[in-house]
Structure 1
């Protein structure tokens, strides 16, 4: 997991993202209403943070199980003090064979006002759910999405009837929604995503950081707005 530095979110300046070509890290916390908000603080230390990069490396196989597109991971007790991955459920949406994995958290909902604070017009998007996808946030293209009704070729099927769109595809959808040619309610949006190297994820699973779910369909219920 890309979590080697102090947790932070790109700081806003005049209500917009800082210009940068590098992904930014972010984390969230539960508030009293059990919703989640991005912490708009820079270089905020996290007490008792555990670094997943410090897990021992190993060539062990994980009980012969294979992580693939559509797999669901749930955080174990070993990382339940590691924001933002504590108590998280993550669906794998992209696999670059022998190189990397990309996943989305499916149980940490956000308010659209988070993007308002970052200078984005979201009024027409509020009919769709917004979740915190993970700590890798690309400036000027912070959203990715899932849908049951893909509008273009930029979406790929991750499970039967469920499709993933990257930043480019999602950006196109947002423009369509704002133009009135697409319904926001057809989409499940995510702020950021999680990313692992190939051996990194298998090492974390082998050492008990993640449980691999056998029946991912049970974990993927379309959320309410």
Structure 2
């Protein structure tokens, strides 16, 4: 089976072996940009205890905030599927877009014109310098998957990592059912 390479729109799935990495243990990262110089992505399955109006009081919206990664955790980022409403968006792949005009976004949210199934917000992002991600792939910290989710905006955060392991099969099936804390097994 041919190994996939990092590419904008693909998913990084944390290998079960990275149990001691609190930033990425049991995560799935959507790659939103990839070049020889760097890679950027957002963790899809780490909801936080914050909602949008907790962070930006002038937006009346209770959409969940996700931990995007360990870099620039004081900054808010978003991916969406409403480029017709948000100018300056960057296409990632398969109808998913990154960023856009924030003033327009605030107005759209306050007018209830964007649904939770259209957008996801992140504090911070996941980033890799030149050859860093390739190095992590070579040490089997990650495997790459096509983004075959019907809708990443409403997938069950608890189940998506497990489901990707089951889909990969082989030795991964055993890990899919292991508890988050393997000392509890």
Normalized against structure 1, the TM-score is what? 0.59
Structure 1 segments unaligned to the other structure (5+ residues): 1-62
Structure 2 segments unaligned to the other structure (5+ residues): 157-185
Helix, strand or coil at the partner of 1:193: strand
1:197 aligns with 2:139: no
Aligned partner of 2:19 in structure 1 is 80
Q: What is the aligned residue count?
A: 153
Residues 154/161 of structure 1: CA separation in 2 closer, same or farther (3 Å cut): same
Aligned partner of 2:102 in structure 1 is 171
Aligned partner of 2:80 in structure 1 is 147
Normalized against structure 2, the TM-score is what? 0.70
d(CA) in 2 for partners of 1:147, 1:199? 28
1:91 aligns with 2:30: yes
Helix, strand or coil at the partner of 1:112: strand
Q: Report deviation, 1:83.
A: 1.0
8 Å CA contact 2:23–2:70 kept in 1: the answer is: yes
Residues 224/74 of structure 1: CA separation in 2 closer, same or farther (3 Å cut): closer
1:135 aligns with 2:67: no
Q: Report deviation, 1:101.
A: 0.4
Higher strand share: 2
8 Å CA contact 2:60–2:110 kept in 1: the answer is: no
> How well do the aligned residues superpose, as a CA RMSD in angstroms?
2.8
8 Å CA contact 1:75–1:88 kept in 2: the answer is: yes
Instruction: Give matches, 1:120-131, under 5 Å.
Output: 120-121=56-57, 124-126=60-62, 128-131=63-66
Question: After superposition, what is the alpha-carbon deviation per residue over 1:139-174, rounded to whole angstroms, capped at 9, x for unaligned?
Answer: 4xx211111112233212212211111xxx363344
Q: Report deviation, 1:120.
A: 3.3
d(CA) in 2 for partners of 1:208, 1:132? 23
Higher helix share: 2
Q: Report deviation, 1:123.
A: 5.7
8 Å CA contact 1:134–1:194 kept in 2: the answer is: yes
d(CA) in 1 for partners of 2:153, 2:112? 22
